[in-house]
Structure 1
Amino acid sequence: MINKRIIFQQTFYKLNPLIFNYIYKSGKIVGYKRTKDNQNAFIIQFQDLTRIWMFKNEIKFINNSEIIHQ
């Protein structure tokens, strides 16, 4: 899964307003994080080297064919 391209899914809970800058931008998975309650989250890096972590149900994985059409 590392180096897989992603975009955010719509989330229904309160997010940090700074994260909204990245909602429609694609990023790459560069690692994993384990939360306090032992859930796995992806660490995502964007082109400006900003890194955030999100759970799998909060992101959408992009196929190579979707990248070509963007």
Structure 2
Amino acid sequence: MARIRNVFEIIELYGHDENFEPHTTPEFVPTTAPAGSKQKLDILAERIQRGMPLWHPEDSTESSSNLVGASEA
């Protein structure tokens, strides 16, 4: 049986994600991308696809002053 690569594959196979354990590799490094930025969202999406944890303990939590809320756009 092929190795489960990410949470989506385990949900497809079993109908839930209760047994999924994300894995870390040397590529699982913190990001300095501002919280809520497109760059941060792209990094989070890549982590999910690779089966990594979503959040790195050392990820930046700073937000960019250039971000605009939906009500302000």
Fold-level similarity (TM above 0.5): no
TM-score by length of 2: 0.24
Instruction: Kindly name which structure, 1 or 2, has the bigger radius of gyration based on alpha carbons.
Output: 2
Task: Report the structure, 1 or 2, having the larger helix content.
Answer: 2
